[in-house]
Structure 1
Amino acid sequence: MLNNLNKLTQDLSLKFPNSSLLQDIQLIKEVNTMQHIKINFKESLEEMVNKYQKLKSPSITCGILTYNEERCIKRCLNSIINEFDEIIIIDSLSTDNTVGIIKQHFPNTKLIFENWINDFSFHRNKIINLASTDWIYFIDADNTYDIKNKGKAKRIAKLLDFLKIKCVVSPIITEHNGHIYTDTRRLFSLKNNLLFTGKVHEEPIFIDKTIPNNITVNIYVHHDGYNPKIVNQITKNKRNIELTKQMINIEPKNPKWLFFYARELEQGNKDSTLIKNVLLEGIELYNSIPDKHYYLDTMLLLCKILFQTNDFKKLNELLKLLEQNFPNCSDITYYKTALIFLDIQLKAKKLINYLQINLDNPEENKYSLINSTNDHIKYTMLKLHFFLGEWDQSIDIYRNLKSREIQKEFLEYANNLKEKLNEI
């Protein structure tokens, strides 16, 4: 009897490599790590494959919240058209041409009007209550659904229904700067009684308040809503800070809200001591509860603050703890390397001071076999300043060099660097 998703994938790969069941399973990212996703089938593998082949796909609603989205709503809706059985839009009384665009170009969408009450979950849950399908997928108005996704949402929904896996599904969202989010929780079955919670940074959870398993799939979405050239980040940040503070008051024992509060403060360039204290409070709460969602993110944001405030002793302590518990986190390697690089820079400055002392005492008539003018020492200092990005000091030393050969050597190096930079 098969008991987990990873084992099912392995068996299908050996015996039914061309089956639609295997092809749909392969839409799941890192399925080889899915030992924790349990399944329970008494049928033979062949019976499963045949049964799945005949199964119809469930219906899916696509939900969208809008307010003054005339810049992007047409692009968003064009990207999802014909992918879902119904599209429900709740518009919070837009004052621009958002509604006009929807009515003119997408008359078959269900357009509902609702006053904005500073609660994202309230509006998302209203769409859930209005949906007439088996599943629901949420997309933001500033998102674009990749053309390569054709049919994937239905295949994923069919697969998870067939395997009786209760979970939320995360598409892969790519930001304007190339950063990728894989824990986005946008697609789920309406039969599982999931509702959103949180006035901001909302996520779907079960009625009993437990957090569902997350499965990331090869559905690709593009997002430009955090692009500072497009969106007023100051206004967005102020709103998120206020809503997150409200959630802290509502759920004071939930460390998730402390993480997001600290993140919003950091993005708003607020006091680093306040941010650090909020994060430390969040970590203390995590130590007393089993749910570790956002725990790693909390620790990593604290690493960033400690590095920025030159608290390297505490940063090293935190990195050791992270290395033990999250050995596959590349940010640990980054911070360890950054600390080593910082140490190298400090040593370079010490070397410059050491060499400068030698130059500041000409009366001692120090002997040199290499160069009696001390140009070799000056050139070493020049290269150290250059390494540190101290361009003015480098140029001053270059101009004081007596050796034309050394000047020529440095110019060749600088010109080669310039040529390479021009290729970028």
Structure 2
Amino acid sequence: MISYKDLKNYIKSDFFLQADRVHLKSNKAPSISFVIICKDEERCISRCLDSIVDIASEVIVIDTGSLDGTLEIVCKYEGVNVFKYSWNDNFADARNFGITKVKSDWIFFIDADEWLLDDEYLIELLDYVGSYRLSNESTFSPKIKSDDASVTWSNGRLFKKSANIKYRGRVHEEPCLANGSMPYNVPIDISVRHDGYVSSIVRQKEKYKRNLILLEKSLIDEPDDLRWRFFLLRDKFIQCSISEVNLIKDGMMNLMDEIYNYDEDSFSIGYFRELYKYIMMIMYSQREFRDMKDLSSKYKDVLCETSDYFYYVSISEIEMFSDSYRSYISNKLDMAIAVRENVDTADNYSLSMDGYHIDEVIYLCLKQLDCNDLCEKYRVNIVNNYSNRMIVS
């Protein structure tokens, strides 16, 4: 048994926790339905089901047209309800269909290529968060960990059936309240693993290609919608060729600037910061360190309190200094080579009439430039021939 004090630590939203509680404890444990939208998931459906069947009040599988062994696998599990759904290029419609089949107090959408990692206190946690007034206006976001080490903690997958939440969007769909507004996002410390976008699996299922088609359709439906414009740029970047990178970067910069100039009520900090990350990633890969710093400075008033801002400004400054330093060392190396070629072998007062002291300068330059093989040759020659050396050991 876990105390409410400990359960409170699983909720990562001070705003939610500061709201009123409508009751202290339910008379019975809340029930939970897991809903899976799937098609041709024989590779991973068993892993997903195995992770949830023991805790679920019911499992609902919405199959959108599997042709592999998915349904045969699912039917081996007791208590799993399968509904066939005619696919219409709209994930929101499929999710909303799944919601109509739920009989439990809570709904947890989990993808077939995901699996629940920790469920020990999930039911107690639902009972606890359900006692808050805002629970009927919120979605709860588990910590989704992908195999590429990325973590998403903003994807509202869990909510009360009584909240009357519905989804919108053909792809990258989002939950909405009955009045059309966005629910509060409440991160909870329940972990889910995801592997559906690992490159080999992506090639197999062509998920990104599918997403782009659906996003293009979404923009036709809602041409001014910020969400679809953001995701279209992001998904294009994920699978773009080198020749397309700059065009996508320009599109992201234009959208970022557009968001920045929105009025306060329309400003979307989430999309703004995500665009910032992708643009910085592109600029860093192209060694555009000055542009990184300039873009960060342009939006300093919005970003300066974030650790991301410090990170990107710091690495851009360090890389610029490093480039400047390497340029200085390269010039010094050229000078040292020129001096070495013209050493006065008759200068009795020189540190080395044979020029080995200048070889030490060349050695030091090569070392700073990471020319390890040539650097080692100079080191050996200096050690063998120059007893008055000061740098080389």
TM-score range, shorter chain: 0.7 to 0.9
Any idea what SS the aligned residue of 2:202 has? coil
Provide closer, same or farther for how the CA distance between residues 309 and 207 of structure 1 changes in structure 2, counting only shifts above 3 A: farther
Query: In the TM superposition, what are the counterparts of 1:258-277 in structure 2 within 5 Å?
Result: 258-270=229-241, 271-277=244-250
CA contact (8 A) 2:304 2:310 kept: no
* Structure 2 residue identity aligned to 1:351: I
Provide closer, same or farther for how the CA distance between residues 328 and 233 of structure 1 changes in structure 2, counting only shifts above 3 A: farther
RMSD: 2.9
Q: How many residues are aligned here?
A: 373
CA contact (8 A) 2:336 2:362 kept: no
Any idea what SS the aligned residue of 2:252 has? helix
CA contact (8 A) 1:61 1:88 kept: yes
The residue that corresponds to 1:25 in the other structure is 8
Query: In the TM superposition, what are the counterparts of 1:315-334 in structure 2 within 5 Å?
Result: 315-327=292-304, 329-334=306-311
CA contact (8 A) 1:172 1:181 kept: yes
Task: Map Cα deviations across residues 218-261 of structure 1 (whole Å, 9 max, x no partner).
Answer: 11111111222443278222212222222222222222222211
Provide closer, same or farther for how the CA distance between residues 207 and 335 of structure 1 changes in structure 2, counting only shifts above 3 A: same
CA contact (8 A) 1:197 1:205 kept: yes
Instruction: Verify: 1:300 aligned to 2:270, yes or no.
Output: no
Deviation at 1:93, TM superposition (A): 2.0
CA contact (8 A) 1:255 1:285 kept: no
Instruction: Verify: 1:219 aligned to 2:190, yes or no.
Output: yes
The residue that corresponds to 1:62 in the other structure is 34
The residue that corresponds to 1:351 in the other structure is 329
Normalising by the residue count of structure 1, what TM-score does the alignment of the two structures yield? 0.79
Q: Percent identity?
A: 25
The residue that corresponds to 2:24 in the other structure is 52
The residue that corresponds to 2:119 in the other structure is 149
Provide closer, same or farther for how the CA distance between residues 240 and 54 of structure 1 changes in structure 2, counting only shifts above 3 A: closer
Instruction: Verify: 1:125 aligned to 2:125, yes or no.
Output: no
CA contact (8 A) 2:363 2:378 kept: no
Deviation at 1:323, TM superposition (A): 4.4
Provide closer, same or farther for how the CA distance between residues 297 and 233 of structure 1 changes in structure 2, counting only shifts above 3 A: farther
* Structure 2 residue identity aligned to 1:73: I
5+ unaligned residues in a row in structure 1: which ranges? Answer: 1-17, 42-47, 387-392, 414-424
CA distance in 2, matches of 1:406, 1:235: 63
CA distance in 2, matches of 1:79, 1:239: 27
CA distance in 2, matches of 1:184, 1:405: 65
The residue that corresponds to 1:186 in the other structure is 157
CA distance in 2, matches of 1:129, 1:279: 38
The residue that corresponds to 1:403 in the other structure is 382
CA distance in 1, matches of 2:10, 2:384: 62
Any idea what SS the aligned residue of 1:294 has? helix
After the TM superposition, which of the residue ranges 125-134 and 340-349 deviates more from structure 2?
A: 340-349
* Equivalent in 276, 282, 291 of residue 255 of structure 2: 282
Q: Higher relative contact order by CA 8 Å / sep ≥ 6: 1 or 2?
A: 2
CA contact (8 A) 2:25 2:127 kept: no
* Structure 1 residue identity aligned to 2:256: I
Provide closer, same or farther for how the CA distance between residues 136 and 264 of structure 1 changes in structure 2, counting only shifts above 3 A: same
Deviation at 1:267, TM superposition (A): 0.9
CA distance in 1, matches of 2:45, 2:204: 19
5+ unaligned residues in a row in structure 2: which ranges? Answer: none
CA contact (8 A) 2:32 2:56 kept: yes
